[in-house]
Amino acid sequence: MTSRLAAAATVALLAATLAGCTDTAPQAAPAPSAGSPTPAPAFDVRDEAAAAAMALVPESATSLAVTDLDRVRLQLGLPDLTGQSSPAERARFWARAATDAPLLTDGLLRGVDERLAREYGFTQDDVRWEAVFDGPDGPGGPGYVLSFRLGLDMAAVQRAVRDRVGPLAGAEVRARDSLVVLGATDDGTRSWAADPALTALVGPPADATYVERGCVEAPSGVDTGRLEELEAWSVALQGGLATARLGELRSDAFDRMRLAASWPGERPAFADGFRRGVADPSTGRVGYELVDPVAAAALVRARTVPFAACAD
């Protein structure tokens, strides 16, 4: 009886989460007056991590993976952890994150942490959030964004970049925004933030968010004949919930949710990370209970996500 009640409560929470934004119809924004150009989307350090990253991702990129390390530290009970914390405390955090957190990126600077701490006075644990994007036509190929904690001495970071330490080789420091970027755009009108269809896929703050332009090829034998075309999708991993966003008015939302049942059982299988799906066709969201954050993150990185399947 207890397990049935728990399952029912989970499904109710997922349903409430999906329906929470649909009770009141949104008011249309006023049209811009003639002759008033729409301002270019700009990076804002106050934005939620995935939303902030959008303004830096080149329009030609195909995917974006964001890990909000500040939120992960909060979830694991270490909100004040920085590069100045003891090595033992920092090691404990990463050990716990490896088993309890949905890391879509693994800490770009961790491989050179000791040198950074010794010679420059900062480490991976001074990064608030990090984002990695990919795309064949992006400037310089695949790129990244590191958002450092506000107040960090960016001159020290600049020295490490100048010395080409590890992944920092070839990067650019944007000290005003406490950023280090590689391959990022500096033109908001040519970024993902300029595409409303993409920005609509980024929701409330999450431990990790993945966004992709395109769809996922279904394995042989999986029937996708009832699906509509899918131009872009996202999934946010936060706490005990995962929320996929497919764009509004998806009549195939339930069909996409049910595809997991016929998806080949690789390891980890989809059910190892996500269970008890619910769908909302009006908002195009599919929600799941996040049963294993590590398995879920691995599935997303491998694009083993039935809800994002391409249509026949």
- Please tell me the predicted confidence (pLDDT) of residue 31: 44
C-alpha to C-alpha distance for 212 and 187, rounded to whole angstroms: 20
pLDDT at 28 over 50: no
Closest CA to 47 of 28, 33, 68: 68
- Supply 106's token pair: 């693994």
For Cα atoms 192, 242, 29, give the angle at the middle one, nearest 5 degrees: 45
pTM score of the predicted model: 0.87
Rg, Å, the chain Cα set: 20
Judge residue 95's burial from the number of C-beta atoms within 10 Å of its C-beta, 0-12 exposed, 13-18 middle, 19 or more buried.
exposed
- Please tell me the predicted confidence (pLDDT) of residue 39: 65
Of the listed ranges 63-72, 131-140, 228-237, 282-291, the least confidently predicted one is 131-140
136 pLDDT band, cuts 50/70/90, is: low
Q: Are 234 and 210 in contact (CB under 8 A)?
A: yes
Task: Report the CATH number of the 214-308 domain.
Answer: 3.30.1360
Q: What value does the mean pLDDT take over residues 136-152?
A: 79
Helices (H) and strands (E) in the chain, counts: 10, 10
- Please tell me the predicted confidence (pLDDT) of residue 26: 36
9 pLDDT band, cuts 50/70/90, is: very low
- Supply 84's token pair: 């100045």
Closest CA to 103 of 73, 63, 133, 82: 73
- Please tell me the predicted confidence (pLDDT) of residue 90: 96
Would you call 91 helix, strand, or coil by DSSP? helix
Of the listed ranges 33-42, 152-161, 260-269, the least confidently predicted one is 33-42
pLDDT at 33 over 80: no
Q: What value does the mean pLDDT take over residues 60-71?
A: 96
Give phi and psi for 159, each to the nearest 5.
-65, -40
Strands 232-238, 179-182: pairing is: unpaired
Q: Any idea where the domains of the chain sit in the sequence?
A: 50-186, 214-308
Greater pLDDT, 140 or 233: 233
C-alpha to C-alpha distance for 275 and 283, rounded to whole angstroms: 20
